[in-house]
Structure 1
Amino acid sequence: MKVAVLGSGAMGCLFGAAFHRAEADVVLVDVNADHVDAINAGGLKLDLRGGSETLSIRAAVPSEISERFDLVMVFTKTFHTQAALEGIVSAIGEDTHLLSLQNGLGNDRRLAGFVSEDRVMVGASMLPSDLVGPGHIRSHGEGYSKLYPAFGSDTAMAERVAALLSEGGLETVLDPQIHAAIWSKAIFNAAMNPLCALTLRTPGFLGAHDEALATIHAVVEEGVAAAQANGLMIDAQPIHDLTRTSMTDHADHEASMLQDIKAGRRTEIDAISGAIVEAAKAKGMDVPVTQTLWRLVKLEEAKLATAL
């Protein structure tokens, strides 16, 4: 299988490495030229819980991509999806499938603007991964991934992708209730990411303070109520359990939103907390704690814009 990983930061490289181990023909595509050059010069360096390894994987900036792929896996920030796919449109052929494991809600419709609905897959991953530096990532936690066709019922390609990822060391399963899984991850992210970003601390810090624990609990309950109002009958307890795991097993992991704020970048708060607020509002519901965190992170983004 010819695979392009579009947005090969910490998570993209982690999944690209799994495809490579399973002997897929992989290209890591990213706009960060230093990162791309480092991978091409010295290989992709991975620090994993089980040890370290260096893999020889091709990397490229979007302008260098001309061939067509069987699968384009999208890991860009949600607000970059449109431009990123337009930047490698020559890589998308009549048989190319697109897969998003991005954060937030609404990624299925963004991908459907580039291929037919039967070639769109979506998923959710609970694996942690951090970018240590150009060509170097770290993933010291355990987790799993789920995926499924976003709109159809033909699972042939999804089965191939899940098998390759699992063979490459990342446990991946098919989940017919993938939209519920994506909502669950969005709720988890809405509970953990904004607090990490606002406090400039990792999950272990949050777990040590009652104020954070109460806020996290409230956001999970609000998110589950919003999901259920939108027809997704998800259970709150597994999400509560996952937040506790994040604060213990992944205590030192820097959430993506924290990384963005520290780096002076725009966050994905709109696709995560903002999307939950809007989905709740569409059903006549209020989610006040989620909305407050959304607004506070937007203020942090406004500060960054002013500083520039």
Structure 2
Amino acid sequence: MSAAEVLIVGTGALACLFAARLAAAGVRVAMLGSWQAALQAISQTGIQFTALDGQQSVVRAFATADPNEVQGVQQALVLVKSWQTERAARQLQGCLAEEGVVLTLQNGWGNREILSQSLGAERVALGVTTVGATLLAPGAVRQAGEGILSLGAQPRLGRLIPYLRQAGFQLEVRSNAEALLWGKLVINAAINPLTALLGVANGELLHRPTARQLMHQAAQEAAEVAKAQGIELPYPDPIEKVEAVARQTAENLSSMLQDVRRGAPTEIDAICGAVVHAARHVGLSTPTLEMLWLMVRALVEQPNQP
């Protein structure tokens, strides 16, 4: 199949959400992934989508693990986990048109660099999203928050943006992509590991004094690392911002908590780990972030075999 207008790389929560909303809006969508259970479910029964208002629908989309079945892709959204980015880049090498564009909406740091190394920087665009999604089962997703798509300016996005607007996504285009990425990285580093460690929804962090203090400390540390690199965050106060996000997404289960509950690898290395490494590079200490990084790693790692 090569007639897709937008290729979604990934089959997880956000990938299914974007595919469902685009397809429901009349956009021809294909999905490229490696999770066999999801590929099978989507191929056999479609994407089971639950909207914010609770309305349920089934949306059909072509899904495959073979890049040869989606040749000549002009627009692609990369929505895999950060630890899957290298594999996604290899898949896209085999199907992205020379004049095509890939938009990464992934969490964490380093995804754009990995994609650019394989595909060329001129074919890669960076964005962040605050749209929330909860995976209910392979191929089944519930939207958990509306949110905004913030995209770094890139000439080739002119062909993709109309499709996203057609699907009802709220969009903004910013000139400074680095600020967008760090703006979300600060929030993710402060909220996601704590929710994963405590097993709670985002809003619960506001009602536990010690957790709230740790959230503040993590946000402040990450913001200081951004500042030391000359990056101006897209909000003036990181603590006020992280509090606001926790309130606005109070019922959401962070993607990291969902990963832990499913026994899947987390993105902790690309979130807290990336900030800790950046801090060391500029001579800063980030004790809270380093603790959260190591604790989440300890939570999910397998014991050494005798």
Q: TM over 0.5, yes or no?
A: yes
Q: Which moved more, 1:108-117 or 1:14-23?
A: 14-23
Equivalent positions of 1:158-197 (< 5 A) are 158-197=157-196
Describe the SS at the equivalent of 1:251: coil
Instruction: Tell me whether 1:276 sits opposite 2:283 in the alignment.
Output: no
Describe the SS at the equivalent of 1:173: strand
Question: How big is each residue's C-alpha offset from its partner over 1:204-242, in whole Å with a ceiling of 9 and x where there is no partner?
Answer: 322210111111111111111110111102266564344
Match of 2:127 in 1: 123
- Tell me the amino acid that sits aligned with residue 97 of structure 2: G
Match of 2:46 in 1: 43
Q: Does the CA contact (< 8 Å) of 1:30 and 1:36 recur in 2?
A: yes
- Is there any run of 5+ residues in structure 2 with no aligned partner, and where? none
**Whole-Å Cα distance in 2 between the matches of residues 179 and 305 of structure 1?**
37
Alpha-carbon deviation of 1:259? 1.5
Instruction: Tell me whether 1:234 sits opposite 2:237 in the alignment.
Output: no
Instruction: Tell me whether 1:82 sits opposite 2:86 in the alignment.
Output: yes
- Is there any run of 5+ residues in structure 1 with no aligned partner, and where? 150-154
Among 5, 11, 26, the residue aligned to 1:8: 11
**Whole-Å Cα distance in 2 between the matches of residues 101 and 112 of structure 1?**
14
- Tell me the amino acid that sits aligned with residue 69 of structure 1: V
Match of 1:152 in 2: none
Alpha-carbon deviation of 1:288? 1.2
Instruction: Tell me whether 1:217 sits opposite 2:212 in the alignment.
Output: no
Match of 1:69 in 2: 73
Q: Does the CA contact (< 8 Å) of 1:9 and 1:30 recur in 2?
A: no
Alpha-carbon deviation of 1:254? 1.6
Percent of paired sites with the same residue: 27
Alpha-carbon deviation of 1:96? 2.0
**Whole-Å Cα distance in 1 between the matches of residues 132 and 305 of structure 2?**
30
TM-score by length of 1: 0.90
Equivalent positions of 1:120-159 (< 5 A) are 120-149=124-153, 155-159=154-158
CA RMSD of aligned residues (A): 2.1
- Tell me the amino acid that sits aligned with residue 19 of structure 2: G
Alpha-carbon deviation of 1:267? 1.1
Match of 2:100 in 1: 96
TM-score by length of 2: 0.91
- Tell me the amino acid that sits aligned with residue 15 of structure 2: G
**Whole-Å Cα distance in 2 between the matches of residues 56 and 6 of structure 1?**
16
Alpha-carbon deviation of 1:29? 1.9
Match of 1:204 in 2: 203
**Whole-Å Cα distance in 2 between the matches of residues 263 and 90 of structure 1?**
30
